[in-house]
A and B are shown apart, each in its own frame.
Chain A
Amino acid sequence: MNSFNEFLAMGGYGMYVWSAYGIAFVVLLLNIVLPFMQRKQLVRDLALKQKRNKQ
């Protein structure tokens, strides 16, 4: 447990190191999640359009 706390502390630079990694993680995750959601939405919209055109 002690060594884990030491690991988190990063020799006193924990705040800088972990916020750098945290921000990078969030930005990189967004670039994966957003296009995924956009595609789902687009396919749903196109399906609606298709249905309307058939009627």
Chain B
Amino acid sequence: MSIVPAPLLRFYHRMASPPHFYSFADKLLPWFVVIFVLLAVSGLYMGLYLAPTDYQQGDSYRIIYIHVPAAWMSLFVYVVMAISGAIGLIWRMKIADVVAISSAPIGASFTFIALVTGSLWGKPMWGTWWVWDARLTSELILLFLYLGVISLYGAIEDKRTASRAISILALVGVVNIPIIHYSVEWWNTLHQGATVAKMDKPSIHIDMLIPLLLMATAFKFYYGIAMLLVAKVEILKREENSQWVQKLVEETNE
């Protein structure tokens, strides 16, 4: 007797098996690439070319189309990492551990991109590359959390122990996520407030909003692609001595 529906349970068990997940990733990847390219091309075309120039910020605002999706993803990937880390911790699910550690370098990259593009946007608009305000500082802490996860994982030889350690670190760091999100409301800052994710309707023009949402969705699929590619390497490393990896190695070298 279970409260979880049977097909979902079956899916969970299939995904929990490394060889299944590996071939599932191979099936998923080409679709993700196609969807990503379509979204990114249309998003970039609309964002860089079709969208009107901002009346206050001129064309510098077009940095928004990578800055904001990257910043959103830096939070999203962190939450995915923490949740899958927790699943790995509680149910000892190997694939959840793999997803957690595979997400870390991509999350770190998104955070880095958010910080750098923000800096490049801040210079012409605020007159400075950087301010030590709550939004920027908490986002910088996020980068250090990601880097901490990556180096902690690398420092522990036994990968099961390493996964347990990073899951705990990731879970502790979750505190930082609401701080980043609400930092522009709680503290006075140069950074502008939320324009899309708020209770009212978005305060951004629809012609600017559509490419932003396209790019945000494109970045989600990009994350799927990059994470699955890293996860495949991680699975091969962990399952090195298993029969299915041995067979796969044999087949690729024939």
**A-to-B contact residues, CB < 8 Å:** 7, 10-13, 16-17, 19-21, 23-24, 27-28, 30-32, 35-36, 38-39, 42-43, 46-47, 50
Contact = CB atoms under 8 A, between A and B. Distances in A.
Interface in B40-74: 48-49, 53, 58-60, 62-63, 66-67, 70
Given A13-B59, A46-B245, A35 B233 contact: yes
B113 A24 contact: yes
B82 to A, nearest CB: 20
B171 interface: no
A23 B117 contact: yes
Given A27-B113, A47-B252, A50-B246, A16 B63 contact: yes
Given A20-B116, A50-B250, A13 B124 contact: yes
B240 interface: yes
Interface of B: 48-49, 53, 58-60, 62-63, 66-67, 70, 105-106, 109, 112-113, 116-117, 120-121, 123-124, 222, 225-226, 229-230, 232-233, 236-237, 240, 245-246, 248-250, 252-253
B113 A35 contact: no
Contacts of A21: 63, 66
Contacts of B246: 46, 50
A20 B123 CA distance: 12
A7 B49 CA distance: 8
Given A43-B248, A43-B253, 8 more contacts: A7-B49, A10-B60, A11-B60, A12-B58, A13-B60, A16-B124, A23-B113, A31-B109
Q: DSSP class of A's interface residues: helix, strand, loop or mixed?
A: helix
B62 A27 contact: no
Nearest to A35: B229
B80 to A, nearest CB: 15
Nearest to A38: B233
A23 B120 CA distance: 11
B46 to A, nearest CB: 14
Contact of B252 (A13, A36, A43): A43
A17 B27 CA distance: 36
Contacts of A20: 63, 66-67, 116-117, 120-121
Nearest to A9: B59
28 contacts: A7-B48, A10-B58, A10-B62, A11-B58, A12-B59, A13-B58, A16-B63, A16-B121, A17-B59, A20-B116, A20-B120, A21-B63, A23-B116, A24-B116, A24-B117, A27-B112, A31-B105, A32-B225, A32-B229, A35-B232, A35-B233, A36-B229, A39-B229, A42-B233, A46-B236, A46-B240, A47-B249, A50-B250
